[in-house]
Amino acid sequence: MKVRVAVVGGGLAGFFTASELMEAGVDDVVVLDRNDQPGGVARTVKLDGYELEPAAGALLLPKPDLTPVLEHLGAEIVPAVDAAMRYVYARGRLNVLGPSPKVMFSHVVSWPAKFRALAEPFIRTKPASSDESVDAFFRRRFGKGMGGTLAWLAANGVFAGDPTRLSARAAFPVFSALEDEAGSLVLGGMRRARKREPGTPRAKSHVPVGGISALAERGAERLGERYRPGVTIESVRRTNGTWTIEGSESVEAEHVVLAVRPSDAATLVNGELAEALNRAISAPAVIVGLGAESKRLPLLPGFGALTGPDAGTISLGVLFESSYAPHRAPAGHSLAKVIAGGANHRDVIDWDDDRIIDTVQAEVAKILSIDPDPSFVHLVRHRTGIPQYEPGHRAWLAGIEGLCEPRFHLTGWGYRGVGVGHVATDAVRIAKDIAAA
């Protein structure tokens, strides 16, 4: 088969890129994926009337790239309910943090830590290294108590990561940018708020109707026969200016897009690029869905609760799935989604099911002060894990980009941001580049 563009990988990154290519008038495209179902890690589990999202559960919208990408797919998106309500289990109790930044009034950190945090706008220290960790960055800005806690929550909430081993600039570029712009996160945030066009809506959590996998399914429908499920690719080589993509199907293409994680991309290419891709780091995580009649599993309104640095749990957070997305549980029932393991508990991925479920259930009981007796339990292991943008990530990425030949693109959550919005931004950029080539 000969095509203009071959996309390897049918996760959200692959479908977003192919759909944006079609939007830009490039119809001669195929998406090749080894799975039989579209969506990659973001494949909704629909069982016993529950909808469990093993990966992305909510999308922040509107966003300049994600909003049009979803519109082009024809995805139906609805606002999440009360998702600004957030909680933190710290210092032995559940604390309300949202919708406004109530951390200053909560029990999450001590009073001395709060007073030190108030000095943030006046802190003029420079980072000890040009690629400091998330932990070092937040401690430098807000002090040890508040900064250490914020770093922990941000690293756990987004990366299931260790804040001492994530790069502030790579993992949370928005915070570094605020400091660069105004010398302070607080002042930078206020400056940006003043500059916002009146009437510009703030991004809020939304959920796709039919589950996150509906996004990939809409992509598959849009692509029709251009989507080739059940095709495992083994190598990608350039010969005489054309890309030869070989595996259980063979394709020749002018452009190739590898929308697979870096460790998978490494198996398809050779030499220095393969070596560099193999250096990508990730942390395994386990998702446990717990469902029950709402009287047995009473969930608070809101998005969910993260666990603080002193919680001592393998659970990094409990998401109140049926509170912010009521259709995810049958009527009269609740669904909680627990994310466990991550960079600080790498061994959990090898625990047996019963040990994980018993531990997580006991932790949910402690965090929410309830006695859940779930009638629905479902566990998903992300063994290859969540990408970790450690210090050096940006230099690694720049090195990889320098090794890419013309008409060869790498995308997905392993590179320029782990969220669905980042993947959409990549899709728009790559589609524009290819359409213009």
Ligand X SMILES: Cc1cc2nc3c(=O)[nH]c(=O)nc-3n(C[C@H](O)[C@H](O)[C@H](O)COP(=O)(O)OP(=O)(O)OC[C@H]3O[C@@H](n4cnc5c(N)ncnc54)[C@H](O)[C@@H]3O)c2cc1C
Minimum distance of ligand X from residue 34's CB (angstroms): 4
Nearer to ligand X, 266 or 329 (CB): 266
Does position 86 interact with ligand X (CB under 6 A)? The reply is no
Cα separation, 211 vs 232, whole angstroms: 25
- By the 10 Å C-beta count (0-12 exposed, 13-18 middle, 19+ buried), 4 is classed as middle
Q: Which of 50, 84, 94, 42 is closest to 313 using CA atoms? A: 94
Cα separation, 368 vs 300, whole angstroms: 9
Site string for ligand X, 321-340 (x = CB under 6 A): ------------------x-
Site string for ligand X, 107-126 (x = CB under 6 A): --------------------
User: Distance from first CA to last CA of the chain, Å, rounded?
Assistant: 21
Task: Decide: helix, strand or coil at residue 361.
Answer: helix
Site string for ligand X, 162-201 (x = CB under 6 A): ----------------------------------------
Phi-psi region at 71: left, alpha or beta (left = phi > 0; alpha = psi -120 to 50): alpha
Does position 214 interact with ligand X (CB under 6 A)? The reply is no
CB 316 within 8 A of CB 160: yes
Does position 346 interact with ligand X (CB under 6 A)? The reply is no
Nearer to ligand X, 160 or 434 (CB): 160
Nearer to ligand X, 139 or 165 (CB): 165
Phi-psi region at 332: left, alpha or beta (left = phi > 0; alpha = psi -120 to 50): left
Strand partners, 206: 59, 79
Minimum distance of ligand X from residue 77's CB (angstroms): 12
Does position 251 interact with ligand X (CB under 6 A)? The reply is no
- Residue of 3, 5, 6, 11 that binds ligand X (CB under 6 A): 11
Cis omega (within 30 of 0) on the bond before 201?
A: no
Does position 244 interact with ligand X (CB under 6 A)? The reply is no
Nearer to ligand X, 26 or 316 (CB): 316
CB 425 within 8 A of CB 69: no
Does position 345 interact with ligand X (CB under 6 A)? The reply is no
Cα separation, 53 vs 50, whole angstroms: 10
Minimum distance of ligand X from residue 368's CB (angstroms): 20
Within 363-392, the residues that bind ligand X by CB under 6 A are: 382, 386
Cα separation, 158 vs 136, whole angstroms: 17
CA angle 395–132–274, rounded 5-degree value: 25
Cα separation, 418 vs 412, whole angstroms: 8
Does position 32 interact with ligand X (CB under 6 A)? The reply is yes
Alpha helix stretches (DSSP H) within 106-184: 111-118, 134-142, 144-159, 168-171, 173-182
- Residue of 264, 321, 363, 390 that binds ligand X (CB under 6 A): 264
Which of 19-27, 36-44, 172-180, 363-371 is the region at the interface with ligand X (rule: CB under 6 A)? Answer: 36-44
Nearer to ligand X, 267 or 294 (CB): 267
Nearer to ligand X, 288 or 292 (CB): 288
Does position 207 interact with ligand X (CB under 6 A)? The reply is no
Does position 155 interact with ligand X (CB under 6 A)? The reply is no
- Residue of 3, 5, 6, 13 that binds ligand X (CB under 6 A): 13
What is the radius of gyration, based on Cα positions, of the chain?
22
Residues at the contact surface with ligand X, assessed by CB under 6 A = 8-14, 32-35, 40-42, 55-59, 232-233, 259-261, 264, 285, 287, 339, 382, 386, 412-413, 418-421, 423
